[in-house]
Structures are given as C-alpha cells and as structure tokens.
Structure 1
C-alpha cells in the first residue's frame, strides 16, 4: 500500500502548473496533473498565434517539476464520495486531495448565427483554427472582432498590425477597465493601426451571418471573418459532478479555496469562486491562486488550519500590435488610476508580464514554495463585509507578503 498522499490536479494552465509544482515540497506527496494537451498554453499569447507572431505553446519540461506525473487526457467526472476522477480515456484515478484548476474559455454565444459563423479565440485549438481561416482569406477582406475587452482589443490590434482591415465591435465601451485617458490612448493606437472601433449604445451584436455582423442600431457590417472575443465561460465539470457552483459555473469555495461541498477538493484560477466573489481574471491571479490552493492542501496534509486568501493585482496590460502597449495601474477597489504607461514602455511592460508568468512557473518547479505575492489585508475583507456579508466571518489576516 502506498504511503504517499495522492494529489490530483485537474488542469495544466497557470493555476494548475503552479499548484502542481508547489505541492512537490513534501516527499510524502505524489502529484498527478491531468490536462487535455501535452503542451503548456500561455493564453496571453493566443492573439499572437492568430496573427502568426507567436506559436503560444511552451514545453511542459520547461515549466513543470520533474516529479509531477502528467496524464494527457480530459476529466469527465469527479466522484467526490469515492475520491476518484473519471477520464475520457476510461481511466479512474484515485486521490486523497484534488485541485480543481480547469480554467476558462469562451461561452456558447447566444446571438443568432454566432455559434455557426463566428470563430472563438480562447483556446489553442480555436486560435489555430482561426489562423487557418485567416490564411485562406484574402488579406484585404474585412475582419470583425466582437468584444471590447483585453482579448478583443489585442486580437484586433494584432491583425490590424498585420495589414488586415479590422473592425472592433465593443458594445458599450472600449476597454471598460481602462481609465478614460488610457482609453483615449487605446483608440489612438487602434486608429494608427488602421482598425475601426465601433462602440456605444447601438454597438451590440444582434446576429452574425456568413458574411456580415448585424448591430443593435440596424447597421450591417460586412465581414469575411468574424471573431468572437466576448464573454466568459468555464467547463461544466463541477456541475456535472454534483458540486455547487456560482451562476457562471465556477466551483464555490470558502476563503481558503476549499470546496464548500468537500474539504478534500480545492479550486484555483478562473474556475474558482471564493465566497461567491471571484477574483478578476489574469494570468498573475491564476498562478497566485494556484500557489494558495497548493498551500491549503499542504496545510491539511500537515494537520494545520489552512489560511484565507489575500490577493490584489490592481493592473492590466494590453498590447497593440508589436510596437506599443498600455500598462494600466489601478486602485485596490479595481478602479483604474490616471497613471498608466504607454508606447514603448507599455509594450515592454506587457512583454515582461508575458515572460514573467513562465519564469514564475519555472522557478517554482526548481524551488517549490518560492513564489510569493503582495497583499494589503484590507480590501478583500471589506468586499466580503459589503458584498458578501454571509461570508464576513472569514476575514483575512493581514500579512503584507503571503508565503507558506
């Protein structure tokens, strides 16, 4: 009989890899990571994959600890009572503790025709299919990108920078997180690249056809290739497994990231909803949550009380093609500051953020437990008291740097 604590990590993105690496601190822990792909996908690069300026894949040998077992498969069901997971390949894998880090993707669009005629961009496979479609489409043909968030902005800018005739449909406003001053800069960059920005009350998409996008104010936009970069969705694995989720399908947890239905299941990344108050999506947030999820499991194995999460990342970075970027600083309440970096400085900071994520994972693989993050010990408890009073008793302690 094995004396190892078997820990299964579902998902091999930023959160899953960080968690798996961090768990190798203990010799009595055996870690198995299950992921549908044999390569790591830095999602921050997917718009570059579409624009043919980056392949958006990293070999797991560069970011995953040698002691972590990698199973290339998909999990179809979690049997919490039996402490096993069922894979699409027919295997049943047992666990003592489970980390749920399945990530996120694009939801099924509810707009008529979008599911049939619009290309998603949120996964490696989708981005590759989109790049192939663009390769088969004349360079002068009109391309429409739907979604005014980071994914839509970066995809539109990347393609416009490659000479494509791009229209970016933003709905209400371009880059909702950006400060108005940074938003003006973003419009300027997109215009310089030749992209047309459509935003405002009438800029909602009501239908997509094979050659057009129809807007709420009645305007038709001719579109040879339509890209869907709006909305957010997570795999329904938790719900299919009988575990409680929030309205978007994220696994509900307490502030230690422990599943409210089973203390042997811990969640991290985009698919987690601590206290039904999820953190804003970013690669940085994902791998910090992955580290904390691993710490929670390690505390339980050691017979210790897990600690609540305290994490803040008040910034956003965007690339505008290969020559410019915006690095927007923000307040702890998730509102943007007037301060932001643009142009060459913004580009360098964006590139630094992309590279830093990979370096953090690689460092954790070599030195498990090395990753730490800053926290203020104040904003999250205030959020809980005002927005989720039923969770207010789970207030967070106030160390300025969290490290297990």
Structure 2
C-alpha cells in the first residue's frame, strides 16, 4: 500500500503565494492547491495604472503558475490547525472543508477607507485591490477631466496614483501629514519636483490629515474644505483577519507571527509569507520585493520538513523603493540593508525605465520559477537584515 500524497495548500495567489506554489512544484509527489478568490493573478504594483485605464493589471495564472498546481477559486474563512482543515466560503469543494498536511499562509494585504473617518467608507475609493481600482476607473469615467480629485495618503501608492491621474490630465490634490515618509530627503525632493511639474497640488502637515469625506468634498484637520469629485484613499494597508479569527498568534495588525524560517510560532505545519506574515514580529515592508523571496523561503521550509530536515533561517534582501511618476518619470530610492533610505536615488526617465523593468521582471521571475521550480535565487542568511516595516504609509 502506497503512502498518500502529502497535501500542501497555499492561501493566497499573490506574489508570495504564487512563488511558494511554484517552488513546491519542485517535488512531483506533492498535491499542491492554491486557493485564491480570483481566477487571475493581479499585478498590484500596476493598480494605479488600472485606475486610469492604461493597464488591466492582471496576468493569466497559466503564465506565472506551474501546471502541476491546482487553482481553487474560493476564499478561506477559517483555519482549524488542530484538525488541519480549512473552511471554504463557497462550499463547492466537497462541502465546505479542505484538508491539508502543510499550509502556506500568504493571504496578502488589503486596504479600506477607515470607518473612524466620517463618510470615508461611503464616499472614498481605496486602491489596494483589483476590484477597488476598477471601481475607481468606472467612477473616473463619469467625472469630467477638469473636475478636482483628492488623493488621501502620500506613501508610495498615493504618490504613484496622484502622478498617474495628473499625467492623464486630471486636477489632483495630494493630502498627507508627510509626502513620501519612507524616502530620503533627496528622494522626496525628486518626487515632489515631478509632482509639481505634473501640476499636483500637495498639502502636508498635521493640518492636512482628513477628518471627513463627503460625496463632493473632503474636510481637513485644520478646517479646510476641498472640493473632490472622486476621493482616492491610499492611506495605509491592513491584512485579512483570517489568522486572528482562527486563533493563531498574530501581531497588532493581524499578521501571522513566525520565526525566521517563516514557521508559525503555534504550529510547524503552518508557514507564513508575504504581507500577512511577521517574522520575529518585525515584518518586512509590504512589497513584491519582499513577498517573492518570502514565498520561496516558506516553500523551502515546507520542503525541508517533508524531507525530514531542519529548515534554515534566511533573510530577504531589501535594496530599494521603486516609484512610478506617470509613464515618463520615476524615482528609484536606494536603501540600506535594514530598509532605511540612503541619500541616493535615480530619477527622471531612468527611474521610469527601472520601475517598468521591475514590473516586467516580477512577472518573469514568477514565470521562471513556474517553468523551473528551484531556479529562483535571492535569499540571504541566516542573518536577519530587514528592520521593522512602516505600518501605514502605503509602502507598496
């Protein structure tokens, strides 16, 4: 009698989940299932382009996912670690339960306008998920080009969105307590110079935080009232509550707490990767730069345990922040090993070229690992080189 195939389930089909599933395909005796609510891969780093209609921000899974991985279009509503089962939202997969032997938790991140800000949930448009960016795209189709647009939050997502909208001819105001808080002073100057050239009005400082959103305006902390035909909310990211409601140990934001092998501190059959994981309670910056190698590390941990070996702690190299400033300019902010900025950047057309190549190579790296599992090499270690990530600055 032969032993049953080990079952590995990956929750989440983003950058970390796809890389983990592809790496796991290096063993042909595993049954690997990827559970994701969408049937296509979403290029989250292009969602600001989707909003203005110059990219669809999706890639078919057959381009980036190994053919041996089964894709299950569904959502997980609960993890039962003791029973090693997942409760599915649709109930289409043999009832509502999916069994696993090992679980890769790569649930990703999300964004929503906070309920604490009156009117934000009703009238603002978040832009951290495909459906949100598409809803903004449809809203903008009904808004006259000269009508004022307010972008709330000036982390990387807010900066990229404001620039893309302005380059498309929109009248944009970017409001935040600080423009580009994760950038160096020279890098921030590069960004603001480009935004000024595009005609973006920038309001920053404590008085520029948003206290209320209406159907045609926003109210700032200092009492100013700005007209806004469409308000874009990019002030920070959160993570799904799945790990928390499943009783797993999480940090203050709800990220799965793991050790430096990406193993859950509660259960060595569960590993975490990407935006929803917090190795040693010091999460990496939410980014595809961290998520790709984290997915590989999580899969390597599973493969080591299946082979009866001790998984090795490794770290993720964080070297830069890439920012698109429309289609014709960008800023590449260089970083130290602990992910803090150095006063060095590459801007202008060279910055735009590098950012576009990063977007393209991200897909190529996933496709390469799909075609040849085990080929991706970028992890360091065992020393931990990344520091604590900024919590809510739209750092993607």
TM category, shorter:
over 0.9
Deviation at 1:374, TM superposition (A): 4.8
| 2:335 equivalent among 322, 330, 333 | 330
Partners of 1:125 and 1:66 in 2: CA distance: 26
| 2:124 equivalent among 118, 128, 138 | 118
Partners of 1:265 and 1:239 in 2: CA distance: 14
1:134-213 equivalences in 2 (<5 Å): 134-171=140-177, 173-213=178-218
Q: Deviations over 1:267-290 (max 9, x none)?
A: 000000111111111102101000
Deviation at 1:241, TM superposition (A): 1.0
| 2:224 equivalent among 215, 219, 222 | 219
Match of 1:400 in 2: none
Partners of 1:102 and 1:305 in 2: CA distance: 25
SS at match of 1:380: coil
1:3-402 equivalences in 2 (<5 Å): 3-90=4-91, 91-109=96-114, 110-171=116-177, 173-375=178-380, 378=383, 380=385
**Structure 1 portions without partners, runs of 5+:** 385-404
Match of 2:392 in 1: none
Q: TM-score, normalised by structure 2?
A: 0.94
Deviation at 1:309, TM superposition (A): 2.5
8 Å CA contact 1:145, 1:227 repeated in 2: yes
Deviation at 1:137, TM superposition (A): 1.0
Partners of 2:198 and 2:287 in 1: CA distance: 26
SS at match of 1:202: helix
Partners of 1:288 and 1:379 in 2: CA distance: 14
Q: Deviations over 1:224-277 (max 9, x none)?
A: 100100111101011111111100010111111111111101000000011111
Partners of 2:379 and 2:313 in 1: CA distance: 14
Partners of 1:293 and 1:147 in 2: CA distance: 32
Deviation at 1:175, TM superposition (A): 0.6
Deviates more, 1:55-64 or 1:215-224: 215-224
Q: Deviations over 1:145-199 (max 9, x none)?
A: 001101100000000000000001122x111121111211211111111111111
- Structure 1 ranges of 4+ moved more than 4 A: 376-379
Partners of 1:107 and 1:224 in 2: CA distance: 19
Instruction: Provide closer, same or farther for how the CA distance between residues 2 and 159 of structure 1 changes in structure 2, counting only shifts above 3 A.
Output: farther
Q: TM-score, normalised by structure 1?
A: 0.92
Deviation at 1:107, TM superposition (A): 4.0
**Structure 2 portions without partners, runs of 5+:** 389-396
